[in-house]
Amino acid sequence: MTVYNLALIGFGGVNRALAEIVAERNERLREELGFGLRVVAVTDLRLGSIVCADGVDLDAILALGPGDGDFSQYEGGSPEPRNEWVIKNAPADVVVEATFTNPLDGEPAVSHCRWALTSGRHVVTTNKGPVALAAEELKALAAGSGAAFEFEGAVMSGTPVIRLVKRMFGGLELSGFEGILNGTSNYVLGRMESGLDFDAAVREAQELGFAEADPTADVEGHDVRLKVAILANELLGACLSPADVPCTGISALTAEDIDKAAAEGTRWKLIGSARREPDGSVSAQVAPHAVPLSHHLAGVSGAVNAVAFDTDLLGVVTISGPGAGRLETAYALLSDIIAIHEAKTTPTTRSVLSS
């Protein structure tokens, strides 16, 4: 039976959750999916790195807490992350990239993906930066080395949207989409409807773990802008950079704006959208809109994400599901590995017609 060796680059919530899935469900995966998984390397800024060709002791490293030392206490371990060395030299088939990434240049994740693909290793990532800023380069590297570059979790975490549309919308023509692609901003707007002011709603989102200590990327729409660029490029055939997507966040909305919308039978949502223009070009934007309660995105509440696609034969098709969460995002990585395995046994893949 095929066994894929994994190198986990970054050992925060998402890759830690993937390690838990491998530790707890590997036998079930073998039975249901026809392949197994073995973690042979892990890197982390705090814990260092560990490489073990026979498989890392996942129970041991998952038990490491703050103050419990680093990977150097184990065979094959080092106190240094050694990301480049591990990516290029560990006996891994798949590099799982889940580090913090600068949204301006995509680093260090772009370099991590580049090193892996150049070395002929498959890459699965949940990072938006490499996909929004360097997808064409990374796809070309993957094609040249016979590797795969998969990134389903970069847009809606564990909720499949890119692969679902590419596989299941064959024969349909897409003219555009609009979506709620950031659970934090959606949660904040919902709490403002309940009477909280903006600052209080953000603090509550932070306390619940929805928002980062610095919520700017969420509430100012920067996170959504990256996701819109990814969806537009992947599903509408655009060539947009994030800078091509005008972006307005929700921080300027007041209690008066919320009350006025409610009185008019509307509801504020931060919406990322893209549309094919008559000349064939694709335009996109991120902005708050007061949508009528009958709108297909009006009922999306809390930290849930949703994207509504405009199609010629089916009309509006909406995909909704969790847009965050460590286990949900880890599942997206697993789904990418499943796709890599399927591609080895199923040579043809249907794609969406977006012209």
Q: Write down the pLDDT at residue 345.
A: 79
Q: In percent, how much of the chain has pLDDT > 70?
A: 97
146 in a domain, yes or no? yes
Contacts of 242 (CB under 8 A, 6+ apart): 103, 132, 133, 225, 226, 229
CA–CA separation, 338 and 33 (whole Å): 8
For the domain that residue 195 is a member of, what is the CATH number?
3.30.360.10
Count other C-beta atoms under 10 Å from residue 196's C-beta: 17
Please state the rounded mean pLDDT for residues 256-284: 97
Contacts of 278 (CB under 8 A, 6+ apart): none
Query: Active-site residues: which are they?
Result: 227
Give yes or no: residues 225 and 280 share one domain: yes
307 in a domain, yes or no? yes
Q: Write down the pLDDT at residue 252.
A: 96
In degrees to the nearest 10, what's the CA dihedral of 140, 136, 7, 38? -70
- pLDDT of 271 strictly over 90: yes
Please state the rounded mean pLDDT for residues 37-53: 97
DSSP string across 123-148: EEE--HHHHHHHHHHHHHHHHHHT--
Q: Write down the pLDDT at residue 347.
A: 56
Q: Write down the mean pLDDT value for the chain.
A: 94
- Residue identified by tokens 């091509």 is 244
For the domain that residue 111 is a member of, what is the CATH number?
3.40.50.720
Let me know: does 237 contact 355? Beta carbons within 8 Å: yes
User: What is the count of structural domains for the chain?
Assistant: 2
Q: Write down the pLDDT at residue 355.
A: 38
Give yes or no: residues 72 and 177 share one domain: no
Q: In percent, how much of the chain has pLDDT > 90?
A: 89
Higher pLDDT, 209 or 154: 154
CA–CA separation, 247 and 226 (whole Å): 10
Structure tokens at 185: 């901003």
